[in-house]
């Protein structure tokens, strides 16, 4: 999904500096409904070693560097 790719590209330096098991958390109001619905349906989006996913229990979007 291009919107998530753009989000990752815009924040890539921050995301690649995440240490192992460290996540960045974002509230749903930081994303449009299309992105939220995509993540709820597909569970995750991986791009350039970064994983973006929805966490139902927290009702937030999490981001992890899968290469750290």
- pLDDT per position as a tens digit, 51-67: 999 999 999 999 999 98
Q: Tens digit of pLDDT for each residue in 20-39?
A: 889 999 999 999 999 999 99
Output the pLDDT for position 60.
97
Q: Among residues 40, 39, 47, which one has the least CA distance to residue 66?
A: 47
At 31 the pLDDT is 96
Angle between helix 2-10 and 33-42 (nearest 10) = 100
pTM for the predicted model, two decimal places: 0.93
**What SS3 state is found at 54?**
strand
């Amino acid at each position: 999904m291009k919107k998530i790719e753009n989000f990752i590209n815009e924040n890539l330096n921050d995301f690649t500096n995440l240490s192992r098991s460290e996540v960045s958390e974002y509230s749903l109001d930081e994303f449009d409904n299309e992105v939220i619905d995509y993540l709820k349906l597909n569970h995750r989006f991986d791009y350039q070693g970064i994983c973006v996913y929805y966490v139902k229990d927290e009702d937030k979007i999490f981001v992890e560097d899968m290469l750290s």
